[in-house]
Amino acid sequence: MAAGSILIVEDEAIVAQDLSSTVERLGYDVVEIVTSGTLAVTRAAVLKPDAVLMDITLDGDKDGVMAAKVISGRMNIPVIFVTAHTDKNTIDRVRERCRAATSSNRSTPPRSPRRFRKRSTDQRHQGSVAPTRPPF
């Protein structure tokens, strides 16, 4: 039995496949991989995953920050940002758009299945949006 269901939002195919393999290796089901913020919102509403792994820079008119705000706000699904963009401007933008993303819940990536499960469980209960780097 899977530890939970994860929706991956990533527009780079190689990165998406790598994330999917890692998440599945950690015992989670990847319910779908989508490439845009608009599609992420639509599919999250239908699939109701336990959590969303979200890139910030995406194809289309809705980036990951805007999609995460909708998904976490309206659907109460926790979103974990998985991005290579960790510069101050990007983090500030995340904080500005998603009030729940504060410096107190910004975290380093989970490096083990136990930590990944704990983080996803904690965020599921808190409904938080936290910027982080990939879990590998």
**Vertex 48 angle, CA 70 and 1, to 5°:** 145
Count of CB atoms within 10 A of residue 60's CB? 13
| Topology (CATH level 3) of domain 5-132 | Rossmann fold (3.40.50)
Q: What is the pLDDT of residues 29-76, one digit of tens each?
A: 999 999 999 999 999 999 999 999 999 989 888 999 999 989 988 999
**Mean pLDDT confidence for 1-19:** 92
Distance CA 119, CA 37 (A): 23
User: What φ, ψ does residue 15 adopt, rounded to 5°?
Assistant: -65, -45
84 falls in which pLDDT band (50, 70, 90)?
A: confident
Count of CB atoms within 10 A of residue 12's CB? 15
What ranges do the domains of the chain cover?
5-132
Distance CA 136, CA 130 (A): 17
**Mean pLDDT confidence for 91-97:** 77
